[in-house]
Structure 1
């Protein structure tokens, strides 16, 4: 580790993020318990930890948070350790919280995405991120808007309408100036969809899984219009990819009684 991190600046980032782990746990609850993240410092380790294309993730099956410090540096996110760590912890304590709820959410989204069920995990992750980040911004004044700005600035691909809808919803939720996160001009119907997404986040803030189907159904027309080339930004924030790899499906996973499909 010391041979890799010879630069004082890079060592300082690692040490600072480590020191912020306890504070990030406290953001959710003084009783939150979770092991310190696994830190990747080079591309080879990124691949070993399942961090290819993403700078952070959590595995719900073993509750391990994994951070790619090389990608953190690539996207200029060194100063946002508390925000990124608190976000990953949010997947552990809030949504999906456990493998069973994660599976139920993906099943609900799949039902609402005929022909695009393979996109259900990514759509669920987007929905979870909306809820987690909105809570962290409103209750703890965290700087998640700054993080999305950095990601947008460092993305070579053009944003598609799904990403623009997503960014516009955050602008509405946080009262940001139009265009700060969403660089595309949306059609009136798309603008209405963004307001609906923001409304859904607040309505389902305390019962997140009830909103999964509706959010997925709203995203369906955007998936039908998108191209593979335009999916890079969603992949970058897909931080629960492979969250249950190697695990058996829990009993009752497909019990969707009482849950809204759309």
Structure 2
């Protein structure tokens, strides 16, 4: 009976490969696992403290998008170092892994030349500091507010609330207009006046309308001048304003011009 029971146990072990499985639970391997767990916990605590310190410094010294990339880079470096440390504890040949990674990386590099181009372009975009999160930009006919600046692309939110991803290589190779680089901007208005009207009076009234607009800056002072005399007298009004006041200034000046010139019997053509 006992012999049959022993045979049954041995048969069960052979079916489930218990003997092969339990041979890995040696004191040495268990100690390595324990050391690895404790080491990872310690490294993680140190990593969190370092990341918190760098994040605090980065937010005060760097732009927002650069600070985000720095945090990501720190995280990637931590995960790579932890992985290498654990593999080293179990005697895995890291040189062989790096060699295989090098060959694989070379193959991937040839297959992903566009991504490499965008990555290199992303370094130039970050280095130039031509934009930051929150800026209003225009690239290749696409305009919007910058949502994120990454190493491969820039994401912007358009005026009609659409998310557009622009590859960094396109930004480097295109004309980029950043409307938020400076706090003030210049706006030009064209007004066509009939020759039958008092043109001098029209110029005076248009300038008064601009000066009365609270969002128009008085330094530099608004300027009104004749631009051409073909078909009708074309006048131009140039005003300076803060970027955020653009829509308000347009509404105030255009409605003011139509209302007051009509009252003065000055015909707009």
Structure 1 length-normalised TM: 0.25
Higher relative contact order (CA 8 A, sep 6+): 1
The structure number with the bigger radius of gyration is 2
Structure 2 length-normalised TM: 0.25
